[in-house]
Amino acid sequence: MTNVEILGNETIFSFKLGKEEWMAKWSGQWHIDIGDRLSVHIDFESLSIFEEKSGELIKKTIDYGNYVANKEVSS
């Protein structure tokens, strides 16, 4: 883990995969420390992918069983 931010109802973290740094968001508060190594299984249907520079949605979540739709906090 390269960065961890525990929010009210979710945890956002970043990690290295090869030479690239990735970010992920999990529901709930997870106690992860920077430097921890975790095995992660990613279900493709639960994955959303955004274009790095524009933030445009490339792939939308299909499996809503593991995703809280329309409950995101907007600024």
Q: Model confidence over 17-34: pLDDT tens digits?
A: 889 998 888 888 888 889
Q: Among 44, 39, 40, 49, which residue's Cα sits nearest to residue 63?
A: 44
Alpha-carbon distance of 24 to 62, in angstroms, equals 17
One-letter amino acid identity for 40?
A: V
Single pTM value for the model: 0.56
Q: Model confidence over 35-54: pLDDT tens digits?
A: 998 887 777 787 888 898 99
**70 pLDDT higher than 90:** no
Task: Count Cα neighbours of 70 within 13 Å in the Cβ-side half-sphere.
Answer: 0
- Pairing assessment for the beta strands 49-50 and 57-59 based on DSSP bridges: antiparallel
26 or 68, greater pLDDT: 26
The pLDDT of residue 63: 61
**75 pLDDT higher than 60:** no
